């Protein structure tokens, strides 16, 4: 399931006005409170929409980051398991060679034990 983030509105223009010395916004004179409500409430809805969109984008990015992290961890674990399997095969081959040499009488038991000790240190 692949969901895309919502689409932003085409264009929103918001301008700021300087603050007075009292800290209140300077606003141009309005004909009535109704006109103020008609101007401000749509802006509040747009700001809420943009805020919700940004939250959605953040969640989307976090989900993608978590998925990529899980994928990288899985690939690293798979590669480590593959390397471990290869090293185990190498060790079994070397142990087989030592056993063949010992059975053929080319290695004394003490020499074989020293080889085993050395192999265990190398492959640990």
39 contacts 46 by C-beta, under 8 angstroms:
no
What is the rounded distance in angstroms from the CA atom of residue 85 to the CA atom of residue 93? 12
C-beta atoms surrounding 92 within 10 Å: 10
pLDDT of 66 over the 80 cut: yes
Q: Give the range among 34-43, 85-94, 95-104 with minimum mean pLDDT.
A: 34-43
Mean pLDDT over each residue of the chain, to the nearest integer: 78
* C-alpha to C-alpha distance for 57 and 6, rounded to whole angstroms: 8
Max Cα separation, the chain? 111
Closest Cα to residue 66, out of 77, 76, 74? 74
Q: How confident is the model at residue 76 (pLDDT cuts 50, 70, 90)?
A: very high
Q: Find residue 19's DSSP bridge partners.
A: 25
Alpha-carbon distance of 47 to 66, in angstroms, equals 28
> What 8-state DSSP symbol labels residue 104?
T
């Amino acid at each position: 399931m692949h969901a895309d983030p919502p689409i932003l509105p085409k264009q929103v223009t918001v301008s700021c006005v300087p603050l007075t010395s009292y800290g209140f916004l300077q606003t141009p004179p309005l004909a009535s409170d109704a006109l103020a409500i008609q101007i401000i409430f749509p802006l509040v809805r747009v700001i809420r929409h943009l805020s919700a969109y940004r939250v959605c984008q953040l969640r989307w990015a976090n989900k993608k980051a978590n998925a990529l992290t899980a994928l990288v961890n899985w690939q690293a674990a798979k590669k480590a398991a593959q390397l471990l399997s290869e090293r185990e095969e190498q060790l079994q081959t070397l142990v087989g060679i030592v056993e063949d040499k010992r059975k053929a009488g080319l290695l004394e038991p003490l020499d074989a034990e020293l080889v085993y000790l050395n192999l265990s240190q190398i492959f640990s």
